Structure 1
Amino acid sequence: MASLQRKGLQARMLSSEEEEKLKRDQALVSDFKQQKLEKEAQKNWDLFYKRNSTNFFKDRHWTTREFEELRSCREFEDEKLTVLEAGCGVGNCLFPLLEEDLNIFAYACDFSPRAVEYVKQNPSYNTERCKVFQCDLTKDDLLEHVPSESVDVVMLIFVLSAIHPDRMQLVLQNVYKVLKPGKCVLFRDYGLYDHAMLRFKAGSKLGENFYVRQDGTRSYFFTDEFLAQLFTDTGYEEVINEYVFRETVNKKEGLCVPRVFLQSKFRKPPKHPAPTSPGPGPESQVL
């Protein structure tokens, strides 16, 4: 069961051992290596997909269940929605979504050219229902593939955490350009003190709540305040922004580990119609 926590509270309480581990692991990766990781980010994700093919992530059939907004944002039941999945990987979310909802056209993009090729090779790939392309979300690439203000829903699912915190706002700015006024970004990603954060070994820390894995891919762990600030500074309105707690049970090893995610919804403000000029009042009428 998931439990939600009110905004502004700590993501979860740490044990004394966990607190001690985080206090010990304060040394940061050198600037030289950090610059190298940034420069090689695309290569590292491409190698990730080369090693793991399409087998690493499970298909995310929970998406429409967790994000009821995909259904509720329709103005009428059979309305066709245009969706952008920014950071689609190999299609673990995309294909279940298209299968479950026949009234969706999806744009989908990923940083890794190899991941995009895996999507295109999937037997379920249908160009009449989706358009998939390689894209760097921190650059102005999106508008080359997606018309301005044409998208009803943008999905950012476990994507923003892989981007350097200094460049996250660029992603939100570029997404903002393709989103229709009054429409929303649906967000889900790692929360502060998630079990994955506490598993990093010493020497993996890049900055506050930011770490590098052994394969060179990186992960940031969000607080609700930091995420809200990112979005609102870019012009979005906060709709919902909450921690979601899960427990992952490994029966084989007898482990039960705490997972912490942020599940959020931010809206691009609607365009207000220009005020109409009032007609001439009685006093200005010529008798």
Structure 2
Amino acid sequence: MDETFIADAKDVLAKDTSVIPDFWQNKYKNEASKNWDKFYNRNTTNFYKDRHWTDREFEELRPSHIFTEHKPVLLEIGCGVGNFVWPILERNPDIFVYACDFSPRAVGFVQSNENYMESRCQAFVCDITKDRLADTIPPHSVDIVSAIFVFSALPPEKQADAVANVIEILKPGGRILFRDYALYDLAQLRFKSGHKLEDNLYVRQDGTLSYYFSKERLRELFVQHGGLVEIENDYVVKKLINAKLNIDSDRIFAQAKFQAPITTTDSIDASAGKTQSINNSEVLVE
């Protein structure tokens, strides 16, 4: 993002000085899962496309790229109706996927899908801001946690609790793969007055929340509060060009990887075959 773009974006955001009253803020935050359940009731499985791009952005999701001596375990948080899950299961025959969402209706769609097999996937309802993942998943047993457009649906004051919850089931050396809406994204700049709850947090027309991340906010959540190691943390800028309308605009996403620390004991266990860690290779962001 160049300085001119950032300055223009700041000017746009600075003009929206109004915030939603406290009563409505609390209502939208407390009814997040209810509003997403309504979203899936309206749209069923037809709103989002399957995410076939994820293994292009994250090499950890490519078959046999990282894990060669055991079957990897992945947790997809905010799984929706399975748009991330199905491509991953198809391309990685040895992987086991846990998939959770705080919308019971969305989880029901996953469980009723013809590709759902309990031998390879376990879907369950979970609000990661308050429901303990370790009640369903053994602690320190997951190699990869995918957090793709999920943390933006959480109020900022609950995001650190969600990170702590996820870390409890992550293996030493395991990674969190993160992608979400970033500060100054086109969607943020298009919000009209009356949708802002607080800085970088908005409510959509359907009552669902949308938070826009900076690199600094991600570092605060995952490194300072979570104690994880930052492997990657940057912005992905996608140009949208409409030649007919002569419109050139930016979609901006935050993309990051964070790794659970590996202690001396973990290294010894790994050499004995008890723990399989992940290497430190990186992926360049587009």
- Taking structure 2 as the reference length, the TM-score comes to 0.87
How far 1:42 sits from its partner (Å)?
1.1
Which whole-Å CA distance do the structure 2 matches of 1:170 and 1:199 have between them? 29
- Which residue does 1:204 correspond to in 2? 195
Q: Structure 1 residue 80 and structure 2 residue 71: aligned?
A: yes
Secondary structure class of the residue paired with 2:220: helix
1-side partners of 2:109 and 2:261: how far apart?
Answer: 35
SS in 2 for 1:235: coil
Residue 279 of structure 1 corresponds to none
Task: Return the alpha-carbon distance in structure 1 between the equivalents of residues 265 and 214 of structure 2.
Answer: 36
The structural deviation recorded for 1:250 is: 4.9
2:31 corresponds, among 37, 40, 64, to 40
- In structure 2, the residue matched to 1:218 is 209
Structure 1 stretches lacking a partner, 5+ long: 277-287
User: One-letter code of the match for 2:162?
Assistant: V
Structure 1 equivalent of residue 60 of structure 2 = 69
AA aligned to 1:266 is: F
Q: 2:231 is matched with which residue: 219, 226, 239? A: 239
- Answer whether contact 1:28 1:203 (CA < 8 A) is retained: yes
Quick one: distance in 2 between partners of 1:252 and 1:147? 53
Q: How many residues align?
A: 266
Contact 2:36 2:103 in 1 (8 A): yes
Structure 1 75/109 Cα, relative in aligned 2: closer, same or farther at 3 Å? closer
The whole-number CA distance in structure 1 between the counterparts of 2:228 and 2:131 is: 19
1:247-286 alignment, distance < 5 Å: 247-250=239-242, 255-273=247-265
Partner Cα separation in structure 2 for residue 139 and residue 186 of structure 1: 21
1:59 matches 2:50: yes
Distance 2:67 2:97 in 1: 18
Deviations 1:86-118 (A, max 9, x none): 110000010011011111100000010000011
Q: Give the equivalent residue in structure 1 for 2:5.
A: 13
Equivalent residues of 2:61, 2:88 under 8 A apart: no
What's the offset of the Cα at 1:73?
A: 6.2
The answer to whether the Cα contact below 8 Å between 1:84 and 1:154 also exists between their aligned partners in 2 is yes
Contact 1:182 1:271 in 2 (8 A): no
CA distance in 1, matches of 2:242, 2:111: 34
CA distance in 2, matches of 1:20, 1:37: 27
Is the partner of 2:17 in helix, strand or coil? coil
Question: Alignment RMSD, CA only?
Answer: 2.2
- Could you state the TM-score of these two structures normalised by the residue count of structure 1? 0.87
Structure 1 stretch displaced more, 63-72 or 228-237? 63-72
Q: Conserved in 2, the CA contact under 8 Å of 1:138 and 1:168?
A: yes
Distance 1:235 1:15, change over 3 A: closer
Question: How high is the sequence identity, in percent, across the aligned residues?
Answer: 49
Q: Report the alpha carbon displacement of residue 43 of structure 1 after superposing the two structures with TM.
A: 0.9
| 3-state SS in 2 of match to 1:182 | strand
Out of 243-252 and 54-63, give the one that drifted further: 243-252
Q: Distance in 2 between matches of 1:166 and 1:234?
A: 14
Matched, 1:154 2:145: yes
> 1:70: how far off?
2.4
